[in-house]
A and B are shown apart, each in its own frame.
Chain A
């Protein structure tokens, strides 16, 4: 049935085209032979093809366009005829003799357009006559196309200001009147289309009407192009008349399209100055009209207008644009009770954008908008609509983007309330946006209150929600937590007390995060605290008596408690690292007992928790490294700790690890800038012990594999490097002979029959030798020392 319809339509179209072309052919002949009578006859017949009722708008348009082209030729012919002396008045009458109205009116419009050009009668009179006569076509489709033709041929002939067709006085008014009338009539026809024909084809008709809408909209475009339509005329005449038609037509499709059209077509400042009129219409539109999009578009336009330059802003203030828009939105929402949530939010989001653009200084407005949103949200049941949630995110992001400062958002009391209405994933997303914003703007947050507020906002990331989402993506989670960690770095106050408060606040929030989050969030917090502790240390001397409440000790207490929290989750490696960091910070603050305590904690962890041998290796090196840098320790404490450390080193599982840890320990006994730590004996002892271990590694290798691997040779070379280091530092116990023995040993090993050559080891060794040679050649005291080593 439908397919048949389409096929039939094709047939009708091609029949119409054929008829049209045939008559056009005869018309051309008449034109060529200058035969006016025949020209009129055949053009009338040609235009009769447009009388068909069988075509859809789409197909009818094809036919119309063809006729349109032909009429252009006819128009030229008319012009020629007139220039040869034929009376235009007579011609104007002549075409009206046609019995059929549609061809008659097409011809009349064509001649009318020539008539205006001759200026034998005022343009306004002719145009008025034409638009009046067109009433004869009451068939929507045919009427629309006829009037569109009229509009087309009259566009450049309106008696506009500055136009050559301008009359004596007030003719702009006539031009406007003409276009308005044509517009009104076209719109009526367009609307009527909806109500004609069978009910079951309503959807199809709607689609067809949509295809035609630009014909109507074009009139508004023409209006906007009329030079003489200034602001006053727009306000007094054009807009009220257009809106009257919009409201009265009571058709949702038309209302939506035309409102949109008005907004897009006329200049921004006109909208601004006539805002009240335009807005007052919105609540009067049909309930099914998508007012929110209309209003959003309007606000978007005004926003970008406001953004175009500061010089336009006074206009906005003058007309109190914000209040008007705000009121309009309230009214619309009231009037359209069943507007979906997404619509409401979109409206507010647009208003917010507008407000930010026009009144960047009025935070109260922003808060007011958010407040209205909260009110709307609270009135409705759960926010399941993901689109609405998206809009909320857009709404919340807008102030951030504008102010580039989270402070502002924190000042908005309703900001947080809105976030309450988001679901978990959305809340997380929003939190991410907030953090991103802070990171991008590189602004530190400097008071505990703000930090508290901020963490309230981003609590989606800080805390687990009540309903656990089991299959959370690991990567995503990591990414989120990393951004929280980065955020913590951004919290900073120059005031120590405040900084401490900030740390406490963060701590309170962070500690609620649960086992999964703590490994990400605690380290930055600790580092932040240690930074404060160090700052206090530098500060204390100058300002004594003040800041009594904030002391490094106090901070270290907090820090300890914080790290303790990690104990509940088995991440001993991390905790150990943090303890060592703390110890170093305490050392910087000259708090020996504290530092010692931290080391103790670290050792306990090492002994009790770190069982994995690889983790042990890493940890032991960390311990050695940290311990080496300690200054605050007295001999006793230091001995205790170094002793323990050497002990741990010697107890590592794998021999090479043992060896390396042991020779690393040697550094604990000789520290250049530490006069108390100059124990050459112990250094030598460590190195010798390392050599012994390396020997045994070699023997074991020989025993198990029958050949000495190069693994032990590397160890020898490494130990040689240590020897050279300490030799250079002037440790008396390191003798030239011992170095030379070691070099000899390594050479033998490398030359050994069963030793496979290993490029890395070879390079390492020859590099070491080159170093010695280099030092020899350099000259000076060091060089003299090296010269003793014979290679």
Chain B
């Protein structure tokens, strides 16, 4: 029996190790099966190098028609029957056809790889980067091994970053003015602001600030938009009166946010909104949504920032 099971087992173990595995920052990545694994983090134009080791199962040899490694950038649209689109594809031949009797390692290197898009796991779309090792074998089927990695790209601090200020209201009923200190926030940023109550004729029960993500996939008539609320943050408890001002201080770090993505490879966009919601005693909701731009700031750039 063992023999039979052994026949369906891969003939060899393939492991990919990065050359700076120990020093490189790792981030959590959620895989399809729901498991979270820690994978290395890269930026665009970084060199991705390392080695692949192939270790045949004890006492067996591996016959192959060549070993190659690919670096793939893929966009997967769930609504499009799970099709992949490779926007980046680089190939390295690691070995010519031959036989492997014992553990053998092959170095690889992709220099200055252009990876313009960030890894993204959305509701309807996924963008991923992966190293794919293929051991070609004629009959018994090829051995394929994937190694995911994550790409984050940093944006410099925007030079123009005006505050968002707005006066909204329902005539003779509710009149408020709100202010967010910026229109562009980095992912560990703090949203500061204030809400002024200019006129209050309804009995407000509480007020929340929501962070909403709008993910649109496809283009033209087949565009699909999905919105999810990532954060719900209570700003106020109770009924304010005219003249009150309520402070806003929302730390973005606890939430799983990504930068704003604009038309990634003509396949999808991700936008973020701040939604100010007032709820009255009859549970009616009054809200105003404002788009904000999120960007990723290099850790080094955030030094010295507090509160």
Contacts and interface: CB of A to CB of B under 8 A. Distances in A.
A137 B247 contact: no
Contacts of A138: 236-241, 244, 246
B-side interface size class:
20 to 34
A136 B237 contact: yes
Interface in A85-124: 89, 92-93, 96-97, 99-102, 104
Interface stretch (B138-146, B155-163, B227-235): B227-235
B237 A102 contact: yes
A192 B238 CA distance: 11
A682 B95 CA distance: 177
B306 interface: yes
Interface in B196-241: 206, 231-241
Nearest to A188: B241
A450 interface: no
A138 B205 CA distance: 9
A137 B306 CA distance: 25
A140 B239 CA distance: 9
A133 B237 contact: no
Contacts of B234: 99-101, 104, 136
A381 B206 CA distance: 55
A99 B208 CA distance: 9
A96 B249 contact: yes
B237 A89 contact: no
A143 interface: yes
Given A102-B237, A192-B241, A96 B247 contact: no
Contacts of A784: none
Interface string A153-197: 000000000000000000000000000000000001000100010
B100 to A, nearest CB: 48
A361 interface: no
Contacts of A137: 236-238
Nearest to A108: B249
Contact of A89 (B240, B254, B306): B306
Given A99-B232, A101-B236, A101-B237, A136 B307 contact: no
A776 interface: no
A100 B232 CA distance: 9
B254 A135 contact: no
B245 interface: yes
B233 A136 contact: no
A97 B245 CA distance: 21
A420 interface: no
- How would you classify the secondary structure of chain A's contact residues: helix, strand, loop or mixed? helix
A93 B305 CA distance: 13
A221 interface: no
B239 A135 contact: no
A135 B237 contact: no
Given A101-B237, A138-B238, A138-B239, A133 B249 contact: yes
A93 B247 contact: no
B251 interface: yes
B191 to A, nearest CB: 12
Nearest to B206: A101
A99 B235 contact: no
B251 A93 contact: yes
A271 interface: no
Interface string A522-550: 00000000000000000000000000000
A140 B238 contact: yes
A133 B249 CA distance: 9
Interface in A133-149: 133, 135-140, 142-143
Nearest to A97: B254
A188 B247 CA distance: 17
A142 B238 contact: yes
Nearest to A101: B234
Contacts of B246: 135-136, 138
A428 interface: no
B247 A132 contact: yes
Contacts of B251: 93, 96-97
Contacts of B249: 96, 133
Contacts of B239: 138-139, 196
Contacts of A97: 251, 253-254
A136 B235 contact: yes
Contacts of B244: 135, 138
B243 to A, nearest CB: 9
Given A89-B307, A96-B249, A192-B241, A136 B236 contact: yes
Nearest to B241: A192
A139 B306 contact: no
Contacts of A135: 244-247
A51 interface: yes
Nearest to A195: B241
A60 to B, nearest CB: 14
A140 B238 CA distance: 8
A100 B251 CA distance: 14
Interface in B231-271: 231-241, 244-247, 249, 251, 253-254
Contacts of B236: 101, 136-138
Nearest to B236: A136
B237 A51 contact: yes
A143 B239 CA distance: 11
Contacts of A93: 251, 253, 307
Contacts of A140: 238
B232 A101 contact: no
A45 to B, nearest CB: 15
B110 to A, nearest CB: 38
Nearest to B203: A196
Contacts of A92: 307
Contacts of A100: 234
- Among B232, B234, B246, residue most surrounded by chain A Cβ atoms (within 10 Å): B234
- Among B238, B239, B240, B241, residue most surrounded by chain A Cβ atoms (within 10 Å): B238
Given A97-B251, A97-B254, A99-B232, A139 B237 contact: yes
A95 to B, nearest CB: 10
Nearest to B231: A99
Contacts of B254: 97
B26 to A, nearest CB: 21
Nearest to A185: B244
A99 B233 contact: yes
Contacts of B237: 51, 101-102, 136-139, 142
A222 to B, nearest CB: 23
Nearest to B245: A135
Nearest to A104: B234
A99 B235 CA distance: 9
- Among A97, A135, A136, A192, residue most surrounded by chain B Cβ atoms (within 10 Å): A136
B22 to A, nearest CB: 26
Interface string A676-700: 0000000000000000000000000
A140 B203 CA distance: 13
A397 B234 CA distance: 64
B279 to A, nearest CB: 13
Q: List 4 tightest A-B contacts by C-beta distance, closest first.
A: A139-B238, A138-B238, A101-B234, A138-B240
Interface of A: 51, 89, 92-93, 96-97, 99-102, 104, 132-133, 135-140, 142-143, 188, 192, 196
Given A101-B234, A196-B239, 7 more contacts: A99-B231, A100-B234, A136-B234, A136-B246, A137-B237, A139-B239, A192-B241
29 contacts: A89-B306, A89-B307, A93-B251, A93-B253, A93-B307, A97-B254, A99-B231, A99-B234, A101-B235, A102-B237, A104-B234, A132-B247, A135-B244, A136-B235, A136-B236, A136-B247, A137-B236, A137-B238, A138-B236, A138-B237, A138-B241, A138-B244, A138-B246, A139-B237, A139-B239, A140-B238, A142-B238, A143-B238, A188-B241
